[in-house]
Amino acid sequence: MRADSRGRTAELRELRERVRHGPSEKATAAQHAKGKLTARERIELLLDAGTFHETEQLRRHRAQGFGLENKRPYTDGVITGWGSVHGRTVFVYAHDFRVFGGALGEAHAQKIHKLMDMALAAGAPLVSLNDGAGARIQEGVTALAGYGGIFLRNTRASGVIPQISVMLGPCAGGAAYSPALTDFVFMVRDTSQVFVTGPDVVKAVTGEEIGHDGLGGADVHAGTSGVCHFAYDDEETCLEEVRYLLSLLPANNREQPPRVPSADPPDRAGTALLDLVPADGNRAYDMRAVIGELVDDGEFFEVHEHWATNVVVGLARLDGHVVGVVGNQPARLAGVLDTRASEKAARFVQMCDAFSIPLVTLVDVPGFLPGVAQEHGGIVRHGAKLLYAYCNATVPRVSVVLRKAYGGAYIVMDSQSIGSDVTYAWPTNEIAVMGAEAAADVIFRRRIAEADDPQVVRAALVKEYAAELIHPYYAAERGLVDDVIDPAETRGTLVRTLDMLRSKHADLPYRKHGNPPQ
């Protein structure tokens, strides 16, 4: 070891270079052979070039036993630090699968704890790049306690700073709960899996045989379980989309989402909307096409695209300002609300409210999905989640009734009665307790049954009920919508209304926290 300062500095540079290079060429080749990038390559893709500041690069574990005392690699299998994304500070940690398979031990966990504390103190987003084999078994309960510290910090940071989990490899056992506590989960097909108990345990306990991807792969969690919000075919695309999501979110709950100047005229006419949405309530259309006509440059970042597809949620911009959009999807189950759709929309509304993102709700809902499975599955409980989320939200809220808005589902979809700041309706709107045909069957059941020609009488009574109670201006006449607007003017109307609401301030009664339905 060289004693002079220049010599010591040179040795430090050599050491850091060895650490950055990783444990071995063989380990790096094995990672690449699986179609996976290394932890540092991932960080380079996520952050702006040259902005990464690593913390505790020279940290090593102090564990004894099972040969650990003879294997003490620097970083201890996790790379932590901060950098910038689109010029804004972001904290990141990345499991290095080449070191202990990315398994978490005491030192590994303490590095993550420190970084999470730094992110919360700095008020900046936290991104975790997950690729680890779970708890380091050789360190026993100490490793489990490390996970507990992560979960505690995930919970304390919830709603304070954006937390994004990117699944780039295996995530099993207790490790799976940290992503579940964060705001968004990204996964990559074929290389990332998330499950509490793996295929071998499932087979031993239940006799079911299933592969890793079939049990906890990206498509399973994106389309069946709802654990994953976004699924992509490769890591490069996945990390680029994480960067885009970060561009739509504020740094923390005390700041507004970043505004990006838009060349799309705020009062651009949406004449295509007149043809996109059929006046016939029984005809389907794609709500995403409507959203594309309304938002800046047609750019809509859909969340949970493949799960609970009868409701659409996502982020977009209107006149450069970020908004959260919730809309029923008539192209799927006629746009009804069911257990999954209610839960999906509720959590999205809560996220937007936590991070000061105004809400735009596009309503075309025939009701809640009927059936024994829905009732036994807790549709009352799940529907109440969405109701609670809207009622509790203090961000600017604007709703537009495009077509059908029936029964309790109309109330839940941010109606004026539960606190929507401004409510608009198109001339095609049908706001009512239920559709005219169903209502006539209930109200005039005896008259129809006793008629000489029940079908003719029924048709006349359906027409009478619709003319009296479901005409487009009934709700407006009673102040339940603020205005009936030309569909082509919807974009401009939304821009002006949200601009008016920009300084909205609303206080909820003092409480430790609410007790939302579960």
* CA-wise closest residue to 148 among 112, 124, 172: 112
Task: Please report where in the chains the tokens 């730094």 appear, as a residue.
Answer: 118
Beta carbons of 360 and 396 less than 8 angstroms apart: no
Going through 416-481 in order, the beta strands assigned E by DSSP cover 422-425, 430-432
Instruction: Say whether 345 is catalytic.
Output: no
Compute the distance between CA of residue 427 and CA of residue 482 in angstroms, rounded to an integer: 13
Sorted by sequence, the CB contacts under 8 Å of residue 220 that are 6+ apart come out as: 213, 214
Going through 340-460 in order, the beta strands assigned E by DSSP cover 359-365, 397-406, 422-425, 430-432
Instruction: Say whether 159 is catalytic.
Output: no
3 state DSSP class of 437? helix
Catalytic residue among 101, 140, 149, 173: 173
Helices 436-443 & 454-469, crossing angle to 10 degrees?
120
Instruction: Say whether 87 is catalytic.
Output: no
Q: What backbone phi and psi angles, to 5 degrees, belong to 515?
A: -125, 75
Instruction: Say whether 174 is catalytic.
Output: yes
Task: Please report where in the chains the tokens 């990672």 appear, as a residue.
Answer: 31
Name the amino acid, one letter, at 268. R
Compute the distance between CA of residue 465 and CA of residue 437 in angstroms, rounded to an integer: 9
Q: What angle do CA 65, 70, 71 make, to 5 degrees?
A: 100
What does the chain come to in residues? 518
Name the amino acid, one letter, at 488. A
Side-chain half-sphere CA neighbours of 107 within 13 A: 21
3 state DSSP class of 160? coil
Beta carbons of 91 and 111 less than 8 angstroms apart: no
Strands 311-318 and 321-328: antiparallel
Catalytic residue among 409, 432, 439, 475: 409
If one counts every other C-beta atom within 10 angstroms of the C-beta of residue 484, the result is 17
Helices 339-354 & 379-392, crossing angle to 10 degrees?
20
Catalytic residue among 159, 377, 408, 419: 408
Name the amino acid, one letter, at 90. V
Instruction: Give alpha helix (H) positions in 123-195.
Output: 141-157, 177-181
Query: Tokens at residue 515, please?
Result: 């007790």
Distances (CA, A) of 99 to 26, 79, 180, 347: 12, 11, 25, 36
Distances (CA, A) of 510 to 255, 402, 514: 22, 36, 10
Catalytic residue among 22, 81, 134, 174: 174
Active site residues: 173-174, 408-409
